[in-house]
Structure 1
Amino acid sequence: MKRWMLAFRIGFTYIGTVVGAGFASGQEIYQFFSVFGKYSLWAILLAVFLFAWLGTRMMMIGARLNASSYQEFNHYLFGNRFGKWMNGFVAVILFGVITAMLSGTGALAKEQLGLSFHIGVWITIGLAFLVILKGMDGILSINSLVVPFMLFFTCLIGIQSLQAPGWSEIFHLPVVNRDGHWMLSAVSYVAFNLAMSQAVLVPLGGEIQDAKLLRLGGWIGGVGLGIMLWISNIAMQLRFEDIRSVEIPMAVVIGTLGVWIKYFFLAVMWGEIFTTLIGNIYGLAAYLRQIWGLKEMTWICFIFISTYFCSLVGFPVLISYLYPFFGYLGFMVLLLLIVRQKPVRC
């Protein structure tokens, strides 16, 4: 029983690392899957398989390398020369994502709850600091608490969708994105998210070290992500014409569930931001400690302070340029994950 509990903690940490505000809002699901109409289900099935297979391989490589950060992982995949560049670029991206996540929590507090932007950010920083103090065990524990609420919220959406008319239409929906292909979209979605998730999955594998547990946890995480993708996609496709012109498609879906669900939705969105935030901070601090020394807690405090000030001035321009480039590098990570043999245990 204890092994199953640990496997679910691994799987939930995987889910919590991948999902974020874009997932909770429905925007990611719409852009990568729903726009492909009747082919979206096939895209989700492909994404589930890749998440489960390659996420597990990433953790297994981390275990074989006895890795404490993503640095060892990229050196193994890309070699020492190009691995250094990849590690530096991942650090910049993680810094940008942390900044965007903090800014998002401030925006939630200000726009939805009527609180100060700064209060929202500093409450999030304080809670994140307490979780990260406990290291990987803290990250596993908070994901084990938050992710079941995400799954419960997704199930609520699924139950509501079952009562909606028009189920037969989702199997005949036209493809909106004529410039892309559902298969390429699914692969690019997995590539980007796995490239980002290495900050957590690699040291997680290095700490757990149990191959059977990592495989089981990897598949639990991959299938869990697939269930959330599938239910959310169907819910939005049933209201496809209503969500095409909105920034938060999921808001249209939950609008029929009553006023009280709005606050549940905001709590879930904050939780998805928070789980991604703590994983990225942990991964970035571990990398910086390996490169420049100093205590990990020193780097964590530096990251919090610097990203707080950056969140005040905004980071959207930098992210708009870095994200697409990081997506291309994600394809390289996926390819090397497939073709590289697992290393001999160090």
Structure 2
Amino acid sequence: MWSSGIKWIFLIIGTTIGAGYASGRELWQFFGHGSSFAILLFTIMFAVCCYVILIISYENKSTHYIPVLHLLVGKRLSKLYDVLILFYLFSTTVIMMAGSGATWQAFNISYWWGIIVVALPLILAFVRDIKGILNMNTFILPLLIGGLLYVLLSFVKQQEISFFSHLHEQFNWSSAFTFTALNILPLVAVLGAVGNHIKRKGEILIASVGSACILGVMTFIYNNSLIHISEEILLYEIPLFAILKNYPYNMFIIISILLWLALFTTALAGTLGIVKRIEGFFQIPLWKLAFIVVVIMIPFTSFGFSTLIEYLYPLYGLLNLYLLSALLIYPILQRSEKIK
């Protein structure tokens, strides 16, 4: 049960930690000063949402997200959210590709080479089964989480940053709702497709609480580190590089590779979600369909990494507030029905 639960933890974190989160750009967009209570709220709501999605998936033995949407928002709104999920997956994959360009640009390599380097394996990966993505997450995520925590804790120790110096400033608590809502849509899309693979309810509790606690702790540490360098963040497309600037060059390379792998797995999951959803409309192999989708995405990456996150992420966060509300009240409604 524990091994299966940990597998789902990696799936959840792998879905949530894309280039936006791992780079620090997404966190700074939503949190920053006065956000400790907001991060705590996010952690609690994230755990509840993951639990509800997984429970619905498990009880329905679902292989895609439509049954989850039907129970949460009804059949009519499900059609709207079905379209929204496709748009979300498309734009998120574009953001991941743009993040690859920004990562390579940090090494004084052309932005467009960074796009090509992620686009080619993204297409070629479709000769592999979806299980390859899960195995990749299981290998990559411990390295990414461990690497990020090592860098952040080393930075905290080096700069003598206090975790409690900003606790009296709690004016940004409402950002917890939009940040949680932002991350709900991909979770519904991914976790709604694994219901038939969950064997016990215990796995769900481990996955929900475990992933929320890991993300909550990382977010709190990361946010405090970013507050310490808030005046320098505007100079960097990827705030994590501002933290790494005083580290040895070898560490810079290692973290950059892990960051790229994180955005690649997220882009791969997004592309997979799109091509599996639309494959019924086209009588061509998946890799050809992936090629068409990726080629269409490439021009959109020219908007820039931070620009895409700045405008698209808050927009999706607001659109998903209704879905977040449905997830949070679902356990209450189920309990009320049982009492009746």
- Aligned equivalents of 1:243 and 1:323: distance in 2? 18
Structure 2 unaligned spans of 5+: 335-340
1:286 shift after superposition: 2.8
Q: CA, structure 1 residues 85+312, in 2 after alignment: closer, same or farther (shift >3 Å)?
A: same
- Aligned equivalents of 2:309 and 2:166: distance in 1? 35
| 8 Å contact from structure 1 (residues 94, 196) kept in 2 | yes
- Aligned equivalents of 1:296 and 1:210: distance in 2? 35
Which residue of 2 is the match for residue 281 of structure 1? Answer: 271
Residue of structure 2 aligned with 1:53, choices 48, 51, 67:
48
- Give per-residue Cα distances to partners, 1:33-63, cap 9 Å, x unaligned: 2222xxx222222111111221121122122
Residue of structure 2 aligned with 1:33, choices 27, 31, 53:
31
- Aligned equivalents of 2:191 and 2:295: distance in 1? 25
The reply to whether residue 271 of structure 1 matches residue 261 of structure 2 is yes
The reply to whether residue 228 of structure 1 matches residue 218 of structure 2 is yes
Which residue of 2 is the match for residue 66 of structure 1? Answer: 61
**How many residues get paired?**
332
Deviates more, 1:217-226 or 1:160-169: 160-169
- Aligned equivalents of 1:51 and 1:328: distance in 2? 16
1:185 shift after superposition: 0.5
Structure 1 unaligned spans of 5+: 176-180
Residue of structure 2 aligned with 1:112, choices 106, 109, 113:
106
- Give per-residue Cα distances to partners, 1:201-223, cap 9 Å, x unaligned: 21123433532212212222111
Residue identity over aligned pairs, in percent, reads: 24
| 8 Å contact from structure 1 (residues 10, 217) kept in 2 | yes
- Aligned equivalents of 1:85 and 1:168: distance in 2? 42
| 8 Å contact from structure 1 (residues 62, 205) kept in 2 | yes
Which residue of 1 is the match for residue 338 of structure 2? Answer: none
* Residue type of the alignment partner of 1:251: F
* Residue type of the alignment partner of 1:142: M
* Residue type of the alignment partner of 2:318: Y
TM (norm. structure 2) is: 0.84
The reply to whether residue 216 of structure 1 matches residue 206 of structure 2 is yes
* 1:182 partner SS: coil
* Residue type of the alignment partner of 1:124: V
Which residue of 2 is the match for residue 102 of structure 1? Answer: 97
- Give per-residue Cα distances to partners, 1:111-147, cap 9 Å, x unaligned: 1344455543343234345555444422211111111
- Give per-residue Cα distances to partners, 1:218-269, cap 9 Å, x unaligned: 2221111112112212222334444476543322222222222221231122
Q: CA, structure 1 residues 167+107, in 2 after alignment: closer, same or farther (shift >3 Å)?
A: closer
- Aligned equivalents of 1:314 and 1:33: distance in 2? 21
- Aligned equivalents of 2:43 and 2:155: distance in 1? 24
Q: CA, structure 1 residues 130+35, in 2 after alignment: closer, same or farther (shift >3 Å)?
A: same
| 8 Å contact from structure 1 (residues 136, 204) kept in 2 | no
Residue of structure 1 aligned with 2:147, choices 146, 153, 178:
153
The reply to whether residue 81 of structure 1 matches residue 81 of structure 2 is no
* Residue type of the alignment partner of 1:9: K
- Aligned equivalents of 1:105 and 1:146: distance in 2? 16
Which residue of 1 is the match for residue 118 of structure 2? Answer: 124
- Aligned equivalents of 1:263 and 1:320: distance in 2? 26
Deviates more, 1:63-72 or 1:243-252: 243-252
Which residue of 2 is the match for residue 178 of structure 1? Answer: none
Q: CA, structure 1 residues 104+252, in 2 after alignment: closer, same or farther (shift >3 Å)?
A: closer
RMSD: 3.2
* Residue type of the alignment partner of 2:217: I
